[in-house]
Amino acid sequence: MITERALTRAALARQLLLERASLPVPAAVERLLGLNAQDPDLPYLALWARLEGFAIADLTAAIEQRTVVRAPLLRGTQHLVSVADFRLLRPQLVPLLRRAQRNAFGRRTRGVDLDALAAAARELLADGQVLTRSELGRRLAERFPGSDANALGWSVQYLLPVVHPAPSGTWGVRGPTPFASADWIGADDEPTRDGVRELVRRYLAAFGPATPADARVWSGISGLREVFDHLRPELRVERDADGRELFDLPDAPRPDPDTPAPVRFLPEFDALLLGYHDRRRVMTDAVRAVVCDLDVVAAVVLVDGTVAATWSPTVQGDAVALRVTPLRRLSPAERDEVEAEGLRLLRFLHPGAPSAEVRLGDNPGG
């Protein structure tokens, strides 16, 4: 039987959260099997928590040089992945992305031939052409008269392999989303058995030990139980205290359950919080109810490897601060470590600020 604490330490090790790693940005993004990028700053904060000496310019350079790309992928949401992992992931997500298009825009694109729509979008984005989502929608509406231009523009990201090129996705850059064809990457058009099996292996390397339900929640892909069963002879299979089977790669890191876990500040929608159906290895059910509120996943503080607080930045003139709200009792030593790590985060976010402060709230219950 594998204990919950052992599961926690395994997850932290594979997510580079037991100690900061000295890795180039593309290698780190590949090790983590992607970073949530719904907001452009989130991958930067995720890597700051995981890499030694990480600087904003490191990730910006990787995005500009196209060694990592931002695109709609896992769960149909924006992720930052290596080029090789886009080639692996995008085909396996085709059924999910098509379903997402139907659910979100099916009624508004009724009567539109979706294959013809994808072909038209590919033609408009040929030869390196970059168009914003609204520009693409307007151009497509000219070819599909009477159709909803906004729905056409949004549908493209679910029907066609596209990326959102720099400066989109770089630190602090928001606004209209640019679309570029991902044909240069060479991803397959449909899922393959070998591809989905490799995806499961890579998921276990980044998040294991885990169940098929965990992998389904992380990816949005259904039908993974059969894949896990096919891979069973090559995997390590254990049970947790509830009797559930957990699968893992036989040679994946398994730190001692008593390995110290340092305080870490994680951004909203961090992969550690979204990588599992059963998230008790990183937070209690009561904490999850606070942190995961509808479609929002809060920025959190890990203390001894599990979620112990939420955090948010504030700026008033030249003064910058982090407001930290404990979700469980923190000891005096833990509070000191939270404050020290919070100040390091403030220096990363605002290196020239003359005043920086961590405002750590009282423990629950006083």
Q: Which CATH architecture has domain 303-360?
A: 2-Layer Sandwich (3.30)
pLDDT beneath 70: ranges in the chain: 366
What pLDDT score does 318 carry?
Answer: 82
What pLDDT score does 316 carry?
Answer: 83
What pLDDT score does 319 carry?
Answer: 87
Residue spans per domain, the chain: 1-66+191-282, 94-189, 303-360
Percentage of the chain beyond pLDDT 90 is 95
What pLDDT score does 236 carry?
Answer: 97
Question: Rounded to whole angstroms, how far apart are CA atoms 211 and 328?
Answer: 28
Among candidates 267, 282, 158, 265, which has minimal Cα distance to 214?
282
Hey, is 359 helix, strand or coil?
A: strand
Among candidates 342, 329, 340, 238, which has minimal Cα distance to 284?
329
Burial (CB count <10 Å: 0-12, 13-18, 19+), residue 264: buried
Question: Rounded to whole angstroms, how far apart are CA atoms 50 and 266?
Answer: 9
